[in-house]
Amino acid sequence: MNIGKEAEQYVKEYFQRRKVELIKKPRGELGYDFRDKESKLFIEVKGTTAKNITDALFRYFTNTEYEKARSCRKAKQDYQIHLITGIGSDNIKHYKIPGEELLDKGKPEVSWWLPLKKDFRKYELC
């Protein structure tokens, strides 16, 4: 299982212990990983092998995650970010960050990405 799937499983088990059934987002919906049956709670999961939260590079969120948090605020729904550190170790820690934190304290950053295409083969070193 990869880090993201392990983090998601950890969060699902956390909610199962609290008698909340999480549903994986339907195909085509963006900005979250799970929701509850009533669509009142939306969960974004971030996972890392880092054991200390200060070493976790989870601070980046997509525009769709930000927009989902914003639409939840407007609709009076609950958006939560669950950060799981220490994946793959015996020192797993779980943090629940309200979506309001992302909306109130988040800062936009510009990033550049280079799409990998077939023509990149010409740059391969033998």
Residue 110: per-residue pLDDT: 74
pLDDT tens-digit map of 79-116: 999 999 999 999 999 999 999 999 999 888 776 766 66
List the structure tokens of 52: 């200390």
Please tell me the distance from the alpha carbon of residue 94 to that of residue 26, in angstroms, as a whole number: 25
Residue 51: per-residue pLDDT: 83
- For residue 12, pLDDT over 70 is answered with yes
pLDDT tens-digit map of 38-74: 999 999 999 998 887 777 766 788 899 999 999 999 9
Q: How many C-beta atoms surround the C-beta of residue 77 within 10 A?
A: 18
Q: Which domains are seen in the chain, by residue range?
A: 3-123 (3.40.1350.10)
Residue 30: per-residue pLDDT: 94
Q: What is the pTM of this model?
A: 0.83
List the structure tokens of 44: 């974004």
Please tell me the distance from the alpha carbon of residue 68 to that of residue 11, in angstroms, as a whole number: 19
